[in-house]
């Protein structure tokens, strides 16, 4: 009760307290499929619509320049064949455009389209940058528009296109603003990967390697045996063995990721195995943008922590070399000139804030498993960076 020197009559007999508790069930489908743009396939036209509802007559479809250039004609022909009138928004490609300005362009498009709040799920077609922008825009517009994710990159297929998180960069911070807003459906079609440059395939292989390193030793072995072939074939399965291996790698990566995300969709638990490779990489990626891609920054982070695990005796020298050799075979970097002690120290400090005051740092303890530590020192990080700059000195 407030105290006051002047005696004053309270308007209340006594304080009153109401406990408000609500629960929300989240349910969405992640479908691994193919030939989404074939006119005879109605999955895309009906995406996000319940079975008893007719196909909507109009949809807002958001994509980005590169995807529009490569697939725009087929997408237009597809929706025309399904008699769906489309309101298009084509955003600029690239991490440099992953900002609040792009999110607001999407919001303006929803308004000018006059979108209905529930019946017309927005369709996002593009890489992780595009699906993050649209996911965030849908999360904020009238506090929640339904949306469908159609990832067109490997990172999108195994990570950005299947979870509940959406966010954009702000004030130099990676994904500094965003929300949790799951899609109603994610349709994953690996045939989009056929036009992806090799470097972008490697970029996605980094997130697959992450799952392998901390959760799935057989996936690591599959990457050792087939990774370079899958990269050169862009997961298009040109021969029966590579088709089988590509399918298995995608299923294990997507299934492994979803198994980790599902019980912790809102990240109430901040100790997350899937944060492996994401301790130093956010600052590194922002610092070296656009030179370094997301997966490349993640790979450098994983190389650092692999060496730290070896320094601590958690991994043998042979295991360390196996991991580093696989990175090279997958076309991934292990270090970058930006990996200087000050940047790495600042990166760790920011990640500690992101993880609510503790490091909660996943470190590999074997190929396929990890544990969490809170006692990483600056000296260990400096020594690991120096080792990766020049292993001959050690
Ligand atoms: N929300 C999440 O949970 C989550 C998870 C992982 C990553 N991310 C985010 O995802 C982003 C990285 O995603 P990305 O690697 O897909 O980047 P991206 O969206 O920038 O796509 C990479 C490049 O490929 C081009 N492209 C897209 N599809 C293509 C296709 N089919 N053929 C040819 N070119 C194509 C794009 O124009 C771009 O130049 C990062 O911003 C990262 O923060 C988000």
Q: What is the pLDDT of residues 255-311, one digit of tens each?
A: 999 999 999 999 999 999 999 999 999 999 999 999 999 999 999 999 999 999 999
User: Pick from 134, 166, 195: which residue ends a domain?
Assistant: 195
Q: Ligand 1 pocket test: which of 70, 94, 137, 153 has the largest number of ligand atoms within 8 Å of its C-beta?
A: 153
- The verdict on 204 and 219 lying in the same domain is yes
Q: Within this chain, do residues 93 and 203 fall inside the same structural domain, yes or no?
A: no
Residues forming beta bridges with residue 61, ordered by sequence position = 88, 123
Q: Mark whether 78 and 221 lie in a shared domain.
A: no
Select which of 98, 165, 174, 210 is catalytic. Answer: 165
163 lines ligand 1 (CB under 6 A): yes
Task: Say how many Å lie between the CA of residue 358 and the centre of ligand 1.
Answer: 29
Nearest to 223 by CA among 202, 197, 194: 202
**The domain that contains 107 carries what CATH number?**
3.40.50.1970
Instruction: Provide the domain count of the chain.
Output: 2
167 and 292 part of one domain: no
Q: Is there an atom of ligand 1 within 6 Å of 159 CB? A: yes
17 within some domain: no
Q: What is the DSSP letter of 92?
A: P
Indicate whether 264 belongs to any domain: no
207 and 75 in a common domain: no
- Cα gap 85→76, rounded to integer Å: 9
E strands in 228-325: none
Q: By three-state DSSP, how is residue 175 classified?
A: strand
| Cβ of residue 45 lying under 6 Å from some atom of ligand 1 | no
Whether 300 and 281 have beta carbons less than 8 Å apart is answered as yes
Q: Which of 164, 158, 120 is nearest to 139 (CA)?
A: 164
pLDDT in tens, the chain (394 residues): 445 556 678 889 999 999 999 998 999 999 999 999 999 999 999 999 998 988 889 999 999 999 999 999 999 999 999 999 999 999 999 999 999 999 999 999 999 999 999 999 999 999 999 999 999 999 999 999 999 999 999 999 999 999 999 999 999 999 999 999 999 999 999 999 999 999 999 999 999 999 999 999 999 999 999 999 999 999 999 999 999 999 999 999 999 999 999 999 999 999 999 999 999 999 999 999 999 999 999 999 999 999 999 999 999 999 999 999 999 999 999 999 999 999 999 999 999 999 999 999 999 999 999 999 999 999 999 999 999 998 877 7
Query: Do 175 and 307 reside in the same domain of the chain?
Result: no
Residue 293: CB atoms within 10 A of its CB come to: 22
Decide which of 195, 224, 248 is a domain's last residue: 195
Is residue 223 located within the same domain as residue 137?
no
**Domain-embedded: residue 11:** no
Instruction: Say if strands 122-126 and 29-32 run parallel, antiparallel, or are unpaired.
Output: unpaired
Q: Which atom of ligand 1 is nearest to the CA of 295?
A: 15
State the residue range of the domain holding 46: 29-195
CA of 128 to the centre of ligand 1 (A): 4
Q: Is 12 exposed, middle or buried (0-12, 13-18, 19+ CB in 10 A)?
A: exposed
Question: Same domain for 173 and 289?
Answer: no
**Cα distance between residue 131 and residue 150, in whole Å:** 8
Do 51 and 148 sit in the same domain of this protein?
yes
pTM confidence score: 0.95
> Bridge partners of 56?
none
Distance in angstroms (rounded) separating the CA atoms of residues 171 and 328:
33
Question: Which H or E run contains 22?
Answer: none
Say yes or no: CB of residue 203 within 6 Å of ligand 1: yes
Is 123 inside a domain boundary?
A: yes
Cα-flanking dihedrals φ and ψ of residue 126, to 5°? 165, -170
| CA-based nearest residue to 301, from 377, 209, 215 | 209
128 with 149, same domain: the answer is yes
Residues 323 and 305 in one domain: yes
75 and 191 inside one domain: yes
- Residue at 162 is within a domain: yes
| Sign of the CA dihedral with 98 first, then 103, 108, and 111 last | positive
Q: Is there a contact between 211 and 274 (Cβ–Cβ < 8 Å)?
A: yes
């Amino acid at each position: 009760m407030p105290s006051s020197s002047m005696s004053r009559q309270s308007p209340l007999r006594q304080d009153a307290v109401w406990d408000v508790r609500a629960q929300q069930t989240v349910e969405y489908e992640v479908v691994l499929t193919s030939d989404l743009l074939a006119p005879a396939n109605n999955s895309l036209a009906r995406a996000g619509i319940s079975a008893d509802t007719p196909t909507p007559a109009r949809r807002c479809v958001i994509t980005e320049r590169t995807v529009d250039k490569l697939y725009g004609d087929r997408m237009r022909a597809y929706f025309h064949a399904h008699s769906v009138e489309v309101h298009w928004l084509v955003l600029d490609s690239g991490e440099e455009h992953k900002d609040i300005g792009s999110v607001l362009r999407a919001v303006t498009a929803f308004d000018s389209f006059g979108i209905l709040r529930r019946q017309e799920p927005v369709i996002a077609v593009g890489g992780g940058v595009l699906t993050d922008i649209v996911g965030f825009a849908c999360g904020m517009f009238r506090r929640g528009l339904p949306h469908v994710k159609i990832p067109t990159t490997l990172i999108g297929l195994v990570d950005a296109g299947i979870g509940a998180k959406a966010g954009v960069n702000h004030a130099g911070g990676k994904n500094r603003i965003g929300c949790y807003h799951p899609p109603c459906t994610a349709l994953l079609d690996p045939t989009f990967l056929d036009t992806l440059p090799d470097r972008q395939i490697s970029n996605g292989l980094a997130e697959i390697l992450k799952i392998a390193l901390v959760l799935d030793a057989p996936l690591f072995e599959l990457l050792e045996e087939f990774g370079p072939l899958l990269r050169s074939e862009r997961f298009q399965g040109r021969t029966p063995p590579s088709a089988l291996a590509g399918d298995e790698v995608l299923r294990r990566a997507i299934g492994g990721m979803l198994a980790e995300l599902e019980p912790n969709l809102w990240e109430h638990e901040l100790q997350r195995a899937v944060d492996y490779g994401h301790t130093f990489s956010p600052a590194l990626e922002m610092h070296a943008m656009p030179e370094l891609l997301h997966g490349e920054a993640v790979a450098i982070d994983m190389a650092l922590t692999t060496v730290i695990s070896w320094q601590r005796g958690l991994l043998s020298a042979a295991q360390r070399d196996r991991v580093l050799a696989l990175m090279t075979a997958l076309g991934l970097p292990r270090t970058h000139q930006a990996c200087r002690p000050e940047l790495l120290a600042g990166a760790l400090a920011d990640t500690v804030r992101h993880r609510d005051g503790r490091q909660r740092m996943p470190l590999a303890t074997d190929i396929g498993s990890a544990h969490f530590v809170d006692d990483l020192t600056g000296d260990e990080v400096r020594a690991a960076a120096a080792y990766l700059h020049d292993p001959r000195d050690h």
